[in-house]
Structure 1
């Protein structure tokens, strides 16, 4: 016999063959989500830092240019015989104090009187010259490279006497945004670290429940539990119903009313035989589902709900294994029985199995319940959501599990429009593409 270590190794090999464990998938999904969130956050912070730096540069250049344009010293200096000698020192002081990259003062034709590079003095201004005496802020590539600059007219008693331009290069703007960039990177790193810790804790919590089982195996385990539950409920109801009928028949016989006892037992057998004949007539039927339907019919009668089943003899057998088939059919019927039990009279549940195109099985379950509100039509398929009492075990799992199982084999499960409430499942019987 293999030892415990060998069995454990074989189980691990099986798990690896089936794919990553559910805990690992949860971990990877959370890590991916955190990384995406961190990147988006960092990107937004970087964009905001660039926008804020550019906005600050525009405000500074506008303020400096406006101040110089209205300065009496600048107005007088432009009209002086040696304007450069008077205004170049002033421009250099302003550049140093305001921490901007250039201050260029020009005459009315755009010839530079001052410039950061003295070799450029006397040359024509590189940038947009407004057609009228108005201020203009723009991004333009000049002798110092791309920059944010503001040009403002210099006026003396309403007459244009020159221009002043103040600017900050894009390189300076980027450098000023560096502290904000570091903050963005730090925030993103903190998000990743916090997300990693959360993902590790989530993986541990998931592993306590699922071990190293793959996600598909966890789903199969849940389907098996649902199958056992619904089969158990059906068999209990059937046993309870037959027990009541047998006790009643025995009491009638003891009272000497044997004819009534025989009639009671015959009626009971006849009701079950109709469904047995329908199930047996299917050429490709699933006996497990047939047994489930017999139990659910008894469960419906026990709850005072009229039950009818229409099973076409040519209805094919779906790709679902017996455990999944019982989970799907049982959950749809249980959902219908619960809805009908709390709905208006007469209370009924109807089931049909018919063949469809492309070798598909169409399973339809209808009930007389109050229906599903329009805003909840899709939410009822969400795991954990239920319109029933929150203290009932298993609520919010059945329909979500049924749809997941059906979609795994390429089928569909939907809620029909209108009344009565009708769930329609299309189950392929051939291999999906």
Structure 2
């Protein structure tokens, strides 16, 4: 990313995105309108050429003239009159084998017709390039007493079709400019609204602020659960001591210490461990027990150090665990969440984080929407903001990593690149 892009404010980037989107949509709409007009004119040309050719072919004098010694004497003036009255580009009358007896250019009379002549007497419309250039043309058989005596071909050049479209272009352009102006106004309003909220802060700074907020939120929830759990156990132990049941009080305190110490030992053993993430895992373990969810954490001591900052690491891990616990809590027993830190098999220097759960999984129709800002399958309110996975993917992508969703069991897998040495 260039320094200029990094310095650009979020408001400016919103303006550019909205303005460019509006321009693209307007250009596409203008193209659709022009193509629709061209299609309409082409359809009209096909209908007109078919009607005129059929009318000429049904005239008795056409069939009679084709049997005369010099058909051009009568048919060339007739074709010229029809072209003058209808505005068609050419009316060509020919013998059964395709020799012209009339043509817009008299010099072409006596030459073979350029176009498709049906193998059996039938009406046929096509686009073909003849002496006048590309044209839409219809050829109709001329019959006398059931016998084929000739053909009539009537056509409109593509140039003539577009000459009818050109007068419509100012209308299309005016609509396009009006829509573009509306889009630019929308972009300006979006920029103004964004600036009211974020000022002139760069987009990256705003994302960092959201990540910081999410980190504080998830870490705070974890520590609250841990404090609550310890408080309950301490109250229970104190009550047992007051009742003289010292052994049971010691057992409760020992079990609490043992559970926490196991996770502390795993975090401490990891050579690239992050104490902030360690504190998060301790709190989340307590939160899982509080919600009746079986907790499992496997941390490879040789797992590489994360390229993420502590704030981003807490956002990623915390949000994935929160989603996993929500899914597990909504599922039928057994309810469990499993967290794994280790090396990536294909790249030992890369860190692999996996958070899996016993939930019902993500429906196929929602596998992409779950990453959209504002989308959530949770109820509205503090627990359903629709920020978590969008933020996780943004942080992982910015670090050059990859976020994958797997099934059986449901698992979000984060792969982060090796940390620069």
Match of 2:398 among 408, 411, 426: 408
- Please state if 1:329 is matched with 2:324: no
Q: What is the CA–CA distance in structure 2 between the aligned matches of 1:367 and 1:182, rounded to whole Å?
A: 61
Q: CA deviation at 1:63?
A: 2.1
Partner of 2:81: 93
Q: What is the CA–CA distance in structure 2 between the aligned matches of 1:370 and 1:135, rounded to whole Å?
A: 63
Partner of 1:398: 388
Q: CA deviation at 1:163?
A: 4.8
Partner of 2:329: 341
- Please state if 1:189 is matched with 2:192: no
- Please state if 1:302 is matched with 2:290: yes
> Any idea what the Cα deviations from partners look like across 1:220-276, whole Å, max 9, x if unmatched?
111100000011112222222233333334444444445544443333223322222
Partner of 2:411: 422
Aligned residue pairs total: 417
SS in 1 for 2:348: coil
- 1:128-139 equivalences under 5 Å are 128=115, 130=117, 136-139=124-127
Q: Kindly tell me: are residues 377 and 52 of structure 1, through their superposed partners in 2, closer, same or farther at Cα, counting changes over 3 Å? A: closer
Contact residue 377 and residue 384 of structure 2 kept, 8 A:
no
Q: Kindly tell me: are residues 196 and 158 of structure 1, through their superposed partners in 2, closer, same or farther at Cα, counting changes over 3 Å? A: same
Q: CA deviation at 1:21?
A: 2.3
With the length of structure 2 as denominator, give the TM-score of the two structures. 0.84
- Please state if 1:243 is matched with 2:231: yes
Contact residue 126 and residue 143 of structure 1 kept, 8 A:
no
Contact residue 319 and residue 389 of structure 2 kept, 8 A:
yes
Q: CA deviation at 1:125?
A: 5.6
Partner of 2:107: 120
SS in 1 for 2:201: coil
Unaligned stretches of 5+ residues in structure 2: none
SS in 2 for 1:350: strand
- 1:15-164 equivalences under 5 Å are 18-76=6-64, 89-105=77-93, 114-116=102-104, 120=107, 123-124=110-111, 126-128=113-115, 130=117, 136-141=124-129, 144-158=132-146, 163-164=151-152
User: What's the Cα RMSD here?
Assistant: 3.4
Q: CA deviation at 1:99?
A: 1.9
SS in 2 for 1:363: strand
More deviation in 255-264 or 338-347?
255-264
Q: Kindly tell me: are residues 48 and 223 of structure 1, through their superposed partners in 2, closer, same or farther at Cα, counting changes over 3 Å? A: same
Contact residue 88 and residue 156 of structure 2 kept, 8 A:
yes
Q: Kindly tell me: are residues 248 and 187 of structure 1, through their superposed partners in 2, closer, same or farther at Cα, counting changes over 3 Å? A: same
More deviation in 204-213 or 371-380?
371-380
Q: What is the CA–CA distance in structure 1 between the aligned matches of 2:319 and 2:108, rounded to whole Å?
A: 87
Contact residue 115 and residue 130 of structure 2 kept, 8 A:
no
Q: What is the CA–CA distance in structure 2 between the aligned matches of 1:87 and 1:399, rounded to whole Å?
A: 78
Contact residue 99 and residue 113 of structure 2 kept, 8 A:
no
With the length of structure 1 as denominator, give the TM-score of the two structures. 0.82
> Any idea what the Cα deviations from partners look like across 1:183-220, whole Å, max 9, x if unmatched?
44344334323322222222223333332222222221
Q: What is the CA–CA distance in structure 1 between the aligned matches of 2:130 and 2:360, rounded to whole Å?
A: 75
Q: CA deviation at 1:329?
A: 1.3
Q: Kindly tell me: are residues 431 and 120 of structure 1, through their superposed partners in 2, closer, same or farther at Cα, counting changes over 3 Å? A: same
SS in 2 for 1:414: strand
